[in-house]
């Protein structure tokens, strides 16, 4: 019997010749990521457990992003505790204002193909874009990993998602993952791994794959994997021969197979206030908006800003609508400046903010109030996520967001 | 055999961790400060009404969304004896066990009980409600070890001889 991608990663890690779904295994962790909002809790638990030193100074990454820049006086405490922990433990990798954790982990090469990585944030599934088995854990569990370098996992079952064909104009990776979440529902992949394949996926950039793996958690998935190819290797700085073991066998066993034709996909929205409440953008067209947000670890990359800039070039954001644009990392910000995207967006009337989690996690940079409506490119539209619980949040692609910002109401992006 | 009885608070499907504790309160110094805001986007008054030994009964995918561990910690701090749901989201499930909060999966109970009902749980065996029995599947051994140690912190303290 063959093996799925996740089984291959676990086998490689544990040195076992075969593993099967349902088995409990202890894995050696290749890297961990801790983000600012949970640092004080991790440090407290680490000490309470009686640990003195982290298991490997090179394998721990601290990233400040949810609270950057600070929006409340008490936020500073998180940085002080983080800075002190970096110094005390001699940690080698930390980022104080370089971007969103899930962008930086693959971008900086901390999460590579075949690795096993855990992070304190639920969107840690993102690193599956480079075929890294990565998943979110709580701060108590993180404290235990910091001390031991190990973690128990249950080998998950895999859902195979095959997408073939060419996407219509105006339809993007974001529309694919939203559609999939709508079909699976919010709990359809709980405890399971999503494994993506097919010609549409092969054609995609690593950035687009990142959008998909990022949102896999919204269907409950433990991980979302794309087998590595040349694009992956170029992105992660590894050689193809280093990852030649990392493919799914033809006779691997899947608990479910889902097949899609890219040509049948349409621009969609997750409507208030569940991520699996999916409707075609055309059904919602004309709905008036107060704000539009383009950014986050889901859709704050260069290709996203490029799409938005192309749509907004020479146009203006509609009166009374605020367009907030947040690049996912400092390097993306700098690239977007170089490419002229930031100038185009600023001239269109966008508020361009520093890379960070701000609005997506409802802490800063554009929070909304009762009765307001926002179309956003991030990953959650839960009650109260971006302000009060009476804010309506629609999730869509950067193209849908940009077209809607110019119109002032929900608009289907141009299909040319 | 452990047996306990408690009053039911009824919640729906997909209760996410932003509902259990919204992000805006996460930078408060501790869960004691946060707990009065529990469930506030959904039912503002609920945190004040839940009493010691009460039981939350919910639908599917309880605890989905953000990894915030304050979610199970706060539920425990509110005095909740256990959460019974049709199913739990993965990260919440691990976090709850690691914090010593008992979770029970039961497919049938949610649709049969009403808020305020008093139900009885016999660990690893069954739930009794309205004269009917609902069987429970026991948790895997490695999880029971963590629960029995009183959570992951205590288990690690034992490992480190603290």
Domains along chain B? 3-137 (3.20.19.10)
* Token pair listed for A359: 């609005």
Nearest Cα neighbor of A372 from A321, A413, A406 is A321
**If residue A8 lies in a helix (H) or strand (E), which one and from where to where?**
helix A5-14
Task: Count how many residues are written for chain A.
Answer: 416
Q: How many Cβ atoms are within 10 Å of B123's Cβ, its own excluded?
A: 16
* Confidence bin at B40 (pLDDT 50/70/90): very high
Query: Cβ separation of B23 and A363 shorter than 8 Å?
Result: yes
- Distance CA(A123)–CA(A140), nearest Å, equals 18
CB A89 within 8 A of CB A42: no
CA-to-CA dists, residue A295 to A256, A352, A356, angstroms: 32, 10, 9
- Closest B-chain CA to A73: B27
Q: Is A122 on the interface with B (CB under 8 A)?
A: yes
pLDDT at A253: 97
pLDDT at A221: 96
CB A58 within 8 A of CB A31: no
Per-residue pLDDT, averaged over B144-160, amounts to 92
Distance from CA of B11 to the nearest CA of A (A): 15
Cβ neighbours of B28 in A, within 8 Å: 74
pLDDT at A113: 98
Per-residue pLDDT, averaged over B115-135, amounts to 95
Q: How many Cβ atoms are within 10 Å of A11's Cβ, its own excluded?
A: 17
- Distance CA(B82)–CA(B62), nearest Å, equals 13
SS3 state at A74: helix
Query: Cβ separation of B27 and A74 shorter than 8 Å?
Result: yes
- Distance CA(B78)–CA(B159), nearest Å, equals 29
* Token pair listed for B19: 């509902």
DSSP state of B42: T
Residues of B in CB contact (< 8 Å) with A are 14, 16, 18-19, 22-24, 26-29, 40-42, 60-61, 64-70, 87-91, 94-95, 98-99, 140, 142, 151-153, 156-157, 160-162
Nearest Cα neighbor of A399 from A167, A61, A224 is A167
ipTM of this complex: 0.87
Cβ neighbours of A383 in B, within 8 Å: 18-19, 41-42
Per-residue pLDDT, averaged over B128-138, amounts to 93
Nearest to B90 among A222, A362, A384 (CB): A222
* Confidence bin at B24 (pLDDT 50/70/90): confident
Query: Cβ separation of A380 and B98 shorter than 8 Å?
Result: no
- Per residue in B49-89, pLDDT (tens digit) is 999 999 999 999 999 988 899 999 999 999 999 999 999 99
Query: Cβ separation of B162 and A72 shorter than 8 Å?
Result: no
Nearest Cα neighbor of A175 from A130, A208, A132 is A208
Q: Got the DSSP string for B112-154? A: T--TT-EEEEETTTEEEETTEEEE-PPPPHHHHHHHHHTSHHH
**Better-scored residue on pLDDT, B150 or B37:** B37
Query: Cβ separation of A389 and B42 shorter than 8 Å?
Result: yes
- Distance CA(A413)–CA(A292), nearest Å, equals 14
Cβ neighbours of B66 in A, within 8 Å: 121-122, 380
- Distance CA(B37)–CA(B43), nearest Å, equals 10
Region class of A251: left (phi > 0), else alpha (psi between -120 and 50), else beta: alpha
Distance from CA of B131 to the nearest CA of A (A): 31
Q: Is A182 on the interface with B (CB under 8 A)?
A: no
Chosen from A25, A37, A46, A49 to mutate, greatest number of chain B CBs within 10 A: A49
Chosen from A42, A72, A75, A138 to mutate, greatest number of chain B CBs within 10 A: A138
Give me the sheet containing B3-10, strands edge to edge: B102-105, B82-85, B55-58, B3-10, B118-122, B126-129, B132-135
Exposure string for A218-235, b = 16+ CB within 10 A, e = fewer:
bbbbbbbbbbbbebbbeb
Query: Cβ separation of A186 and B142 shorter than 8 Å?
Result: no
**If residue A214 lies in a helix (H) or strand (E), which one and from where to where?**
helix A206-215
User: Where would I find the beta strands (DSSP E) of A113-267?
Assistant: 116-119, 133-136, 150-154, 158-164, 193-197, 223-226, 256-261
Region class of A50: left (phi > 0), else alpha (psi between -120 and 50), else beta: left
pLDDT at A209: 98
pLDDT at B139: 81
Cβ neighbours of B156 in A, within 8 Å: 49-51, 143-144, 147
Q: Which residues contact A47 (CB under 8 A, 6 or more apart)?
A: none
Domains along chain A? 5-9+23-262 (3.30.499.10), 268-407 (3.30.499.10)
Task: List A residues 7-26 in contact with B (Cβ-Cβ < 8 A).
Answer: 24
Query: Cβ separation of A78 and B27 shorter than 8 Å?
Result: yes
Q: Which residues contact A182 (CB under 8 A, 6 or more apart)?
A: A268, A270, A276, A277, A278
Nearest to B18 among A78, A152, A383 (CB): A383
pLDDT at A415: 66
List the pLDDT tens digit at each of the 416 positions of chain A. 899 999 999 999 999 999 999 888 999 999 999 999 999 999 999 999 999 999 999 999 999 999 999 999 989 999 999 999 999 999 999 999 999 999 999 999 999 999 999 999 999 999 999 999 999 999 999 999 999 999 999 899 999 999 999 999 999 999 999 999 999 999 999 999 999 999 999 999 999 999 999 999 999 999 999 999 999 999 999 999 999 999 999 999 999 999 999 999 999 999 999 999 999 999 999 999 999 999 999 999 999 999 999 999 999 999 999 999 999 999 999 999 999 999 999 999 999 999 999 899 888 899 999 999 999 999 999 998 999 999 999 999 999 999 999 999 999 998 64
Cis-peptide, bond into residue A107, ω within 30° of zero? no
- Closest A-chain CA to B31: A41
* Confidence bin at B122 (pLDDT 50/70/90): very high
- Distance CA(A321)–CA(A158), nearest Å, equals 43
Give me the sheet containing A256-261, strands edge to edge: A223-226, A193-197, A158-164, A256-261
Distance from CA of A111 to the nearest CA of B (A): 19
- pLDDT, averaged across chain B: 93
pLDDT at B1: 64
pLDDT at A218: 96
pLDDT at A298: 98
Q: Which residue has the tokens 């561990």?
A: B69
- Note the pTM of the prediction, 2 decimals: 0.92
**If residue A325 lies in a helix (H) or strand (E), which one and from where to where?**
strand A322-326
Chosen from B21, B45, B64 to mutate, greatest number of chain A CBs within 10 A: B64
């Amino acid at each position: 019997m063959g093996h799925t991608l996740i089984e291959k990663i676990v086998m490689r890690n544990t040195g076992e010749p075969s593993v099967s779904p349902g088995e409990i295994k202890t894995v050696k962790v290749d890297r961990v990521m801790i983000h600012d909002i949970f640092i004080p809790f991790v440090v407290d638990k680490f000490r309470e457990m009686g640990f003195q030193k982290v298991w490997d100074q090179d394998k721990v990454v601290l990233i400040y992003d949810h609270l950057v820049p600070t929006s409340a006086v008490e936020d500073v405490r998180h940085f002080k505790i983080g800075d002190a922990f970096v110094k005390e433990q001699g940690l080698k990798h930390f980022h104080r204002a370089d971007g969103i954790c899930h962008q930086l982990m693959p971008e900086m090469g901390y999460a590579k193909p075949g690795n096993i990585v855990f992070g304190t944030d639920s969107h840690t599934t993102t690193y599956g874009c480079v075929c890294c088995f990565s998943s979110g854990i709580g701060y108590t569990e993180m404290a235990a990993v910091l001390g031991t370098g190990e973690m128990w996992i249950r080998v998950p079952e895999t859902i195979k998602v095959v997408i073939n064909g060419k996407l219509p104009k105006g339809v993007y990776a974001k529309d694919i993952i939203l559609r999939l979440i709508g079909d699976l529902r919010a709990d359809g992949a709980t405890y399971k791994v999503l494994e993506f394949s097919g010609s549409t996926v092969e054609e995609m950039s690593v950035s687009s794959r990142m959008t998909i793996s990022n949102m896999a958690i919204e269907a409950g998935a433990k991980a979302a994997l794309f087998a590595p190819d040349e694009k992956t290797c170029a992105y992660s700085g590894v050689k193809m021969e280093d990852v030649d073991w990392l493919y799914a066998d033809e006779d691997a066993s899947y608990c479910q197979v889902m097949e899609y034709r890219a040509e049948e996909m349409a621009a969609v929205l997750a409507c208030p206030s569940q991520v699996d409440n999916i409707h075609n953008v055309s059904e919602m067209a004309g709905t008036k908006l107060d704000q539009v947000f383009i950014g986050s670890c889901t859709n704050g990359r260069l290709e996203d800003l490029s799409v938005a800039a192309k749509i907004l070039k020479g146009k203006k954001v509609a009166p009374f609508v605020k367009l907030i644009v947040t690049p996912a990392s400092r390097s993306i910000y700098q690239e977007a400046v170089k490419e002229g995207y930031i100038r185009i967006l600023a001239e269109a009337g966008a508020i361009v903010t520093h890379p960070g989690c701000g609005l997506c996690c409802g802490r800063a940079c554009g929070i909304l109030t009762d009765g307001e409506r926002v179309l956003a490119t991030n990953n959650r539209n839960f009650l109260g996520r971006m302000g009060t619980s009476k804010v309506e949040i629609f999730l869509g692609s950067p193209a849908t967001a940009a077209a809607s910002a110019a119109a002032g109401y929900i608009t289907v992006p141009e299909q040319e | 055999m452990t047996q306990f009885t408690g009053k039911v608070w009824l919640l729906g499907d997909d209760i996410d961790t932003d509902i259990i504790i919204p992000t805006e309160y996460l930078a408060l110094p501790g869960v004691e400060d946060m707990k009065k805001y529990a469930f506030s986007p959904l039912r503002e008054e609920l945190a004040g009404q839940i009493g010691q030994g009460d039981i939350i009964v919910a639908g599917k995918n309880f605890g989905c969304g953000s990894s915030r561990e304050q979610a199970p910690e706060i539920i425990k701090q509110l005095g909740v004896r256990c959460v019974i749901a049709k199913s739990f989201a993965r990260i919440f499930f691990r976090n709850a066990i690691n914090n010593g909060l008992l979770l029970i999966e039961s497919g049938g109970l949610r649709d049969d009980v009403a808020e305020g009902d008093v139900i009885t749980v016999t660990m690893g065996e069954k739930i009794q409600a309205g004269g009917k029995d609902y069987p429970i599947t026991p948790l895997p051994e490695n999880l029971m070890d963590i629960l029995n140690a009183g959570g992951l912190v205590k288990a690690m303290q034992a490992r480190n001889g603290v």
